[in-house]
């Protein structure tokens, strides 16, 4: 099976969140299933392809080929989509250019794909173009289009005035296609024009068909329900594995967890926190967005920081930068705030902390809870989306702490429950051993994607 995989971020080339992790791992897992996979992404600043051709760069890694679409005017910027002040105003132009180029380069390469697999609104247009502008092109005659929604809250909404820039006929600007309350909605267009749509966990696939989680697209998704499914994300254990991780202080594994305590002490020292094995160290690695529960975390910190230690790594809304900075000034010995994107600190948080906070208001899948397990760090999560599918409460013989009502009080209660168990060293060690053996590898997930491609 020939697959063209399109994504606006792919680890290790460019990353702002989980989409990059998935796009970095899934193509290799598909190749292991026997698929021929070409990955397409923009040529951002700092990416150095192995070879350069007019219009694109090329790198081969293992069985997968990567094509980096070049347009310095659009992609040679400091960030991928925008700054904390807001999105780049020409994002429609940037990703429409990207999407058209994918189809043109496929033709140039004479690689007529069985499946175009696009991800989120940024590459939705590849599917739309394939089904409209290229509809009668023999080259794509047998091509099916698949779209994965990694987060329904980001839809690529633009003013109607920009419509002519897309190069689509005005026939597509209606409620059945990509019009959304008088504006352009690229994700909606992607959903409508794709043969199969999936999201990244079974629970989120159900939730997005309801008004509470559908972000206005619940009707469109319900209509698509026969062609909509949920496939749980997985973790790349070549990247996230304390046994081989060169970014942490001391390696460890589920067979021998002793060095986890060493990581904790060294990290406390590096961060300027009190070095104390008995202090409960809570970590968070996240986009600082409303979605991630940073509002209820902020409300809880005054209480938590008097008793426990907290380390947060994240960038995002300026509003939360300000709130957190204020708290960091107040609790110097118990709060480490790192307002940046930093792979090394992220790995150290997973390795060193006792618990990982993931109180997301909603969560399509979430990778951090699965990464935490591997590093013997216990997730504390809100019962929503992919967190329902991956975290079962300790009370029910699972490996995490779950709270059901989205509130700072309930978050605090679940943290205090974890603290009670943490104080019982024997029980805690058993729990760490258990979760570090959980397996969320890509193999089974890749098989499910292959099945979905066949169904498309």
Site stretch for ligand ADP (CB under 6 A), options 167-175, 178-186, 257-265, 310-318: 310-318
Residues 115 to 174 in contact with ligand ADP, rule: CB under 6 A: 151
Q: Which of 69, 168, 196, 315 binds ligand ADP (CB under 6 A)?
A: 315
Shortest distance in whole angstroms from residue 314 CB to ligand ADP: 5
Whether the upstream peptide bond of residue 62 has omega within 30° of 0, thus cis, is: no
Hey, what are 206's tokens? 């159900």
When asked if residue 336 is in the footprint of ligand ADP (CB under 6 A), the reply is no
Nearest residue (CB) to ligand ADP, 19 versus 281: 19
Q: Is 287 in the site for ligand ADP (CB under 6 A)?
A: yes
Q: Which class for 423: exposed (0-12), middle (13-18), buried (19 or more C-beta within 10 A)? A: exposed
CB distance 103 to 139 below 8 Å = no
User: Least distance in Å: CB of 323 to ligand ADP?
Assistant: 17
Contact partners, residue 133, CB within 8 Å, separation at least 6: 167, 168
Please, are residues 125 and 96 in contact by the beta-carbon 8 Å criterion? Answer: yes
Start-end of H helices in 272-308? 294-307
CB of 342 to ligand ADP, least distance (A): 5
Q: If you ran DSSP here, which 8-state letter would residue 452 be given?
A: H
For 18, half-sphere exposure in the C-beta direction (CA atoms, 13 angstrom radius) is: 26
Q: How many CB atoms lie within 10 A of CB 62?
A: 10
d(CA 23, CA 80): 15
Which range in 106-114, 122-130, 284-292, 372-380 contacts ligand ADP by CB under 6 A? 284-292
Q: Which is closer to ligand ADP, CB of 66 or CB of 362?
A: 362
Instruction: Tell me the pairing of strands 183-185 and 179-180.
Output: antiparallel
Q: Does 285 bind ligand ADP (CB under 6 A)?
A: yes
Name the one range near ligand ADP by CB under 6 A: 1-9, 75-83, 213-221, 364-372: 364-372
Stretch that binds ligand ADP, among 98-106, 361-369, 430-438, 440-448 (CB under 6 A): 361-369
Spatial distance between the Cα atoms of 341 and 354, rounded to a whole number of angstroms: 21
Looking at the Cβ atoms of 92 and 370, the one nearer to ligand ADP is: 370
Those residues whose C-beta lies under 8 Å from the C-beta of residue 450, and which sit 6 or more positions away, are 1, 30, 33, 35
Task: Give the nearer residue to ligand ADP in terms of CB position, either 232 or 415.
Answer: 232
Q: Is 84 in the site for ligand ADP (CB under 6 A)?
A: no
Site for ligand ADP in 382-401 (CB under 6 A): none
For residue 294, state whether it binds ligand ADP (rule: CB under 6 A).
no
CB of residue 284 to ligand ADP, shortest distance in Å: 9
CB distance 178 to 228 below 8 Å: no
Q: Can residue 17 be called a binding residue for ligand ADP (CB under 6 A)?
A: yes
Contact positions vs ligand ADP (CB under 6 A):
17-19, 21, 151, 285-287, 313-315, 341-343, 346, 365-368
């Amino acid at each position: 099976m020939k697959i063209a995989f399109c994504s606006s971020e792919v680890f290790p080339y460019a990353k702002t969140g989980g989409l990059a992790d998935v796009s970095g791992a899934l193509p290799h897992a598909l190749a292991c299933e026997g698929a021929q996979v070409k990955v397409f992404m923009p040529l951002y600043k700092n990416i150095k392809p192995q070879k350069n051709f007019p219009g694109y760069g090329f790198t081969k890694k293992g069985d997968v080929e990567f094509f980096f679409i070049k347009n310095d005017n659009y992609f040679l910027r400091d960030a991928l989509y925008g700054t904390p002040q807001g999105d780049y105003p020409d994002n429609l132009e940037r990703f429409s250019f990207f999407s058209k180029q994918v189809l043109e380069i496929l033709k140039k390469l004479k690689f007529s794909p069985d499946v175009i697999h696009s991800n989120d609104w940024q590459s939705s247009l590849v599917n739309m173009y394939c089904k409209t502008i290229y509809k009668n092109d023999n080259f794509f005659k047998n091509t099916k289009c698949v779209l994965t929604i990694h987060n329904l809250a980001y839809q690529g909404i633009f003013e109607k005035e920009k419509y002519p820039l897309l190069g689509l006929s005005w026939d597509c600007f209606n409620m059945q296609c990509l019009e959304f309350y008088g504006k352009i909605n690229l994700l909606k267009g992607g959903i409508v024009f794709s043969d199969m749509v999936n999201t990244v966990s079974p629970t989120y696939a159900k939730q997005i068909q309801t008004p509470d989680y559908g972000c206005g697209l619940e009707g469109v998704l319900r209509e698509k329900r026969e062609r909509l499914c949920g496939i749980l994300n997985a973790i790349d254990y070549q990247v996230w594995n304390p046994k081989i991780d060169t970014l942490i202080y001391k390696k460890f594994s589920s067979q021998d967890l002793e060095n986890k305590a060493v990581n904790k002490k060294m990290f406390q020292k590096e961060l300027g926190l009190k070095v104390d094995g008995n202090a409960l160290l809570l970590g968070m690695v996240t986009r600082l967005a409303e979605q991630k529960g940073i509002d209820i975390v902020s409300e809880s910190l005054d209480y938590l920081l008097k008793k426990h230690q907290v380390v947060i790594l994240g960038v995002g809304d300026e509003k939360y930068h300000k709130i957190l900075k204020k708290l960091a000034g107040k609790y110097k010995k118990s709060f480490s705030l790192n307002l940046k994107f930093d792979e090394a600190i992220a790995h150290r948080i997973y390795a060193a902390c006792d618990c990982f906070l993931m109180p997301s208001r909603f969560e399509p899948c979430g990778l951090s809870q699965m990464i935490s397990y591997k590093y013997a760090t216990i997730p504390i999560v809100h019962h929503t989306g992919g967190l329902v599918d991956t975290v079962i409460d300790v009370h029910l013989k699972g490996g995490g702490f779950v709270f059901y009502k989205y509130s700072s009080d309930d978050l605090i209660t679940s943290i205090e429950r974890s603290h009670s168990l943490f104080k019982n060293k024997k029980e805690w060690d058993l729990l760490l051993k258990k979760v570090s053996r959980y397996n969320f590898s890509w193999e089974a997930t890749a098989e499910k994607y292959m099945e979905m491609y066949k169904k498309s």
